[in-house]
Amino acid sequence: MGEGSFTKLFQKRSLLRFVQKYQPLGSGEPEEEPREECELKIIEQEKEVAVLPPKDACKCHKEDLARALNVDLQTGLSEFSVLQRRSKHGWNEFSVENTEPIWKKYLDQFKNPLILLLLASALVSVITKEYEDAASITMAVLIVVTVAFIQEYRSEKSLEELNKLVPPECNCLREGKLQHLLARELVPGDIIYLSVGDRVPADLRLIEVTDLLVDESSFTGEAEPCNKTDSVLLEAGDITTLSNVVFMGTLVRYGKGKGVVIGTGENSQFGEVFKMMQAEETPKTPLQKSMDRLGKQLTLFSFGIIGLIMLIGWLQGKRLLSMFTIGVSLAVAAIPEGLPIVVTVTLVLGVLRMAKKKVIVKKLPIVETLGCCNVICSDKTGTLTANEMTATRLVTSDGCQAEVSGVGYNGEGNVYLLPSKEILKEFSNISIGKLVEAGCVVNNAIIRKNCVIGQPTEGALIALAMKMELADIKDIYVRKKEIPFSSEQKWMAVKCTLKNQDQEDIYFMKGAFEEVIQYCSLYNSGGISLALTPQQKALYQQEEKRLGSSGLRVLALASGPELGKLTFLGLVGIIDPPRAGVREAVQVLFESGVSVKMVTGDALETAVAIGQNIGLCNGKLKAMSGEELDQLAEAELSSTVQNVSIFFRTSPKHKLKIIKALQRAGAVVSMTGDGVNDAVALKSADIGIAMGQAGTDVSKEAANMILVDDDFSKVMNAIEEGKGIFYNIKNFVRFQLSTSISALSLITLSTVLNLPNPLNAMQILWINIIMDGPPAQSLGVEPVDRDTIKQPPRCTTDTILSKSLILKIFMSAIIIISGTLFVFWKEIPKGGITPRTTTMTFTCFVFFDLFNALTCRSQTKLIFEIGFFRNRMFLYSVLGSFLGQLAVIYIPPLQKIFQTENLGVLDLLFLTGLASSVFIVSELVKLCEQRCCHPKHTKGCHN
């Protein structure tokens, strides 16, 4: 029996059971016609069941919800209903469309204009029977293409990784039985049971809750878990306000609940992110654009040479075909086939250097793109901050104030009494000791291996007690009763008694100040309870507002023999603090012309507090909400977002809007984030940067770069590396083009003027090896200059061949040509060319080449400033080339191959002195530029 037949039989039997289940009492066998009608009716009902948008579901009463989803809330769905709904809604997973085959992705690498130009050169080499040239060019192309393909292969896996966030299992009620199912099997209308530690398997409308707290930080950016309820909402705001709905992929932190599935797979809130991500394409990097432009420029240059040679040959009456062959050969020689290899090697080495600094780069050109980055949009929670709630300020009821150092749940740090900065432990200050004790006792959190199990806010109070060496004080009490926290009452209390002592019970309470103070009639003053006056209450309220306005979440604490007669102990200010090193990184980035913008789902007060703390825009903050963003037209948005430093209450759509607006304004945008809500923005940004430890799988796969240890300051190192790589590529291009133009010009001049050729074929080959070999390649690995980070971001419109670089290339080429021709003219006897003539000319050109490479190590700094021995690979390459040249001159077998003869010491000294002129002139030009242009240094391009 086929699979389809088996499924139909199974559906038929399920349907029969379902129909028979509802037969009236006393009836015999069901009649055929009514049964068929009933079957059709049930199938029709099941087909009409649609997913419920969260904003509609949150306003439904339980009965309306059951009716809309056609489900019995006590027994769940039948197997028949599940099959019918699955046929309509599909599995609870994300289906990635068929991607391009690997071979096609590999072939796409050949679309690069420079690669196509090199392949054309190889073809011409085959036609002109230069098979060695053809083989070397083809090999170079294959190496470049393969390395780039391997590095980039994993970068397009973003959509597949979304499946990892769909939890594999869940507890589901079906046909009256609680079953353990795979999450992918869920359909709209299924009843799900949630408990601590569960990942929510689909979008659910809650119908029963018990102290349910859900961590939605990966969606909303809120560090604090959300209190969930099962009551009906009158109005539906954005997703952060839907307190009776939980979303797929979020985490249950505390309590338990029961809910009805209202959305699965692509119809969930997660699915919205999925669809947006599918629609996004990763933009081309500035380096890719620069290389495209360079490829086109070199193509035009090549055709120009061919045209010029053919024109001159035609005017001289030579055969056009022979002149075309010469022109094409020279054009092929002019194309720097080593350039793609140097670019790839330079980028790979940059990636490896970044890996040592715990930064993983997934796409090669992205390293260089960071050098153009002039705006960083950063998520707050988990990126700029540690996503670990920490108590930072204490205010006691008798006016003592203390600040707390240390971040997170490891207990490292101290409590300092202000203003004396005295370190407090245990009850060295009775008022602060009693405040910390209360926070530790009225607490359900546990800290294990530096991680909190329970509410992060309660974890912050336990960590505070650890810093005061009071973490074990909880054990001296026996808890008799707990009044749990609820969003309505906004406080929690426990009733305790001291172990092994017959003392009266004592209550400890924590919660919102305005609620806790209502249960207090006394306040603590140095361990003595005094009557609470209206003036004291007003003073505490003022302190609570002061702490709240600085972005802290404020908890009030009290204790006493009974509710209503509690002693007020004081206030604790808690915040998710900035990560270590973030403030310094933001300052350095600001000084180098990179603007940092905070994009968060959090509230304005908290966002502004963190923004001021890390020094965004030197404290000149301008904030904008997600709602305000929605009201702006596209044109207005592009001009407005550039001046805003904090975006609060934002959704994934808002983040995408911000990035697109900045890109339209001409900015190169980097986005850092760690949550599902950041994934779309990470993919659409020019550079997406995810957090390695706190980041979700989706954010890591959507990003181009991952900070392994979540250290935001590593972005600074990455930008420095990016700028350095571009400069190294420019250095290589300058060296190679000035050398190739010199070699070409010598051959062209001798051809056009009917002079004897100053260099033979083997000598030209040797020069080509130096031009594309170790000395050239070693320019690509020049260590990044320490002052690079201070340079402004480069404009994306800047080409590798800038006007300044072209002038320097021609300056070097003219000096090399002039010097070499001078030696050729000086050494040529009247009788014609001798081995000495070619040896002197050949050695002169090679020495010019080596001195040219030395000055090309930097475009702006003198050799003494960058350090002569800093790039050891370069020194070894130059030394190797020099020794190789001596071998060609002095070893007899090589003399025969290269047609050279021995030179005297004075000859070598003369050639060294003459060749050094290209180095001396270039260094003098740099010195003049430093003196003349230094005052004109600007902040650079901000597009």
Which runs of consecutive H residues, i.e. helices, occur in 451-517? 456-467, 513-516
Report the distance separating Cα 568 and Cα 466, nearest Å: 22
**One-letter amino acid identity for 628?**
E
Write the Ramachandran bin of 812: left for phi over 0, alpha for psi from -120 to 50, otherwise beta.
alpha
Q: Do the Cβ atoms of 141 and 260 come closer than 8 Å?
A: no
Q: How far is CA 155 from CA 159, 273, 714, in A?
A: 11, 18, 21
Which tokens in the block code for residue 604? 């304005």
Cβ 402 vs Cβ 418: under 8 Å: yes
| Strand-pair partners of 181 | 170
- The answer to whether 680 and 656 have CB atoms below 8 angstroms apart is yes
Q: Are the beta carbons of 644 and 622 closer than 8 angstroms?
A: yes
Residues classed as catalytic: 379
- Residue 506 pairs in a beta bridge with 496
DSSP labels, 398-445: TS-EEEE---SSS--S-EEEETTTEEE-TTSSHHHHHHHHHHHHS---
Give the whole-angstrom CA distance, residue 588 versus residue 298.
38
Element (H, E) at 35: helix 32-48
Helix (H) or strand (E) holding 519: none
> H-type helices in 562-620, by residue range?
582-591, 604-614
CB 873, CB 776: distance < 8 Å: no
Asked if residue 419 has a cis previous peptide bond (ω within 30° of 0), the answer is yes
**Do the Cβ atoms of 112 and 291 come closer than 8 Å?**
yes
Residue 388 near residue 407 (C-beta atoms within 8 A) = yes
Tokens 């190797």 -> residue: 880
DSSP state of 754: T
Fill in the amino acid letter for 40.
L
Give the whole-angstrom CA distance, residue 646 versus residue 157: 31
The SS3 of residue 222 is coil
Residues 6+ apart with CB under 8 A from 834: none
Say if CB 878 and CB 864 are below 8 A apart: no
Please tell me what DSSP assigns to residue 832: -
Q: In this structure, what DSSP letter does residue 382 have?
A: I
* Strands of 309-366, DSSP E: 359-361
Q: What are phi and psi of 505, to 5 degrees?
A: -65, 155
- Amino acid letter, residue 338: G
H-helix segments, 511-599: 513-516, 534-549, 582-591
Burial of 937 (0-12, 13-18, 19+ CB in 10 A): exposed
DSSP 167-205: -SEEEEEETTEEEEEEGGG--TT-EEEE-TTPBP-SEEE
Specify the amino acid at residue 472. D
In the beta sheet, which residues pair with residue 182? 169
- What DSSP assignment string belongs to 248-316? TT-EEEEEEEEEEEEE-GGGSHHHHHHHHHHH--PPPPHHHHHHHHHHHHHHHHHHHHHHHHHHHHHHT
Q: Which residues contact 426 (CB under 8 A, 6 or more apart)?
A: 433, 468, 469, 470
Residue 673 main-chain phi, psi, to 5 deg: -170, 170
The residue behind tokens 């250290």 is 711
